[in-house]
Amino acid sequence: MIDYAIDVIIIILGFTLFAISHSVLASLKIKKVIAKRIGSYMAFYRFAYNVISAAIILLLFLYLPKPDVIIYDLNYPYDIIILIPQFLSLAGLIWSLSYIGTKEFLGIEQIKLWFNNQYNSEQLDEKMRLTFEGPYRYIRHPIFLFGGLFLLLRPVMGLFYLTSLICIIFYIYVGSFYEEKRLIEKFGVRYIKYQKEVPGFFLIRLFNPYKEN
């Protein structure tokens, strides 16, 4: 039992270190410092940031301890049935990403602009924009919601995966507050109004979708 507790602590520490590094590199202050040093090459920052983040997550999943504890293992037909909402969550995630510009989210659009001599380094690694269309009419953070559901809805849940999932969801939830702070700084009253009228995560404004006046 003590060994399992130690494993859980190590897993939490691993994801905490990732969260700190991920947040620091995503901060506006750090981006501005880096942009001053590398100029227009800032166009490659978002892509590099995503690649590094994915690589760290992969290393965590490969090398963190994996206690052999199964929280649950669904039997047939429930192991098949749970894949239905998981697939729907994936569809919702793709739907949500389509409204924010997937290429820019991945960093591909910025690199394309750089090669066409159209990149503006003052925009740093992204163009901050507001969208009130699609899933954003019903909930403020559909990417986080659908992404979290996709990770959660699985037929087998082990202690390692559950601990990792809790860390990821907690980090996303906390990070959303900082993201909204940035949006308020940039868009002011427009975003504050949207924030007051549209739920963040847990409720969906299903029957009265938001529409900006």
- Mean pLDDT (the chain) is 89
Give the pLDDT mean for 97-101. 84
Residue type, 64: L
- What per-residue confidence (pLDDT) applies to 177? 85
Give the pLDDT mean for 30-43. 88
Q: What is the pLDDT of residues 38-58, one digit of tens each?
A: 888 898 999 999 999 999 999
Q: What is the pLDDT of residues 68-84, one digit of tens each?
A: 899 999 999 999 999 99
- What per-residue confidence (pLDDT) applies to 179? 84
Q: Tokens 């909402």 — which residue?
A: 85
- 8-17 long-range contacts, CB within 8 A, separation 24+: 8/67, 8/159, 8/163, 10/64, 10/65, 11/64, 11/65, 11/160, 11/163, 11/164, 11/167, 12/163, 12/167, 14/60, 14/64, 15/60, 15/164, 15/167, 15/168, 15/171, 16/167
- What per-residue confidence (pLDDT) applies to 104? 83
Residue type, 184: I
The CA distance from 14 to 7, in Å, is 11
Q: Where are the domains of the chain?
A: 2-197
pLDDT at 90 over 80: yes
Task: Read off the pLDDT band of 130 (50, 70, 90).
Answer: confident
Q: Tokens 């590099």 — which residue?
A: 48
Are 3 and 65 in contact by the 8 Å Cβ rule? The answer is no
Q: Tokens 């529409």 — which residue?
A: 211
Taking the alpha carbons at both ends of the chain, their separation in whole angstroms is: 57
Enter the pTM of the model.
Answer: 0.84
The CA distance from 210 to 134, in Å, is 10
Of residues 95 and 2, the one with the higher pLDDT is 95
> Could you tell me what percentage of the chain is helix, strand and coil, using 3-state DSSP and rounding each to the nearest 5?
70, 5, 25
The CA distance from 188 to 171, in Å, is 25
Task: State how far Cα 5 lies from the chain centre.
Answer: 27
Across 87-91, 139-143, 201-205, least confident range: 201-205
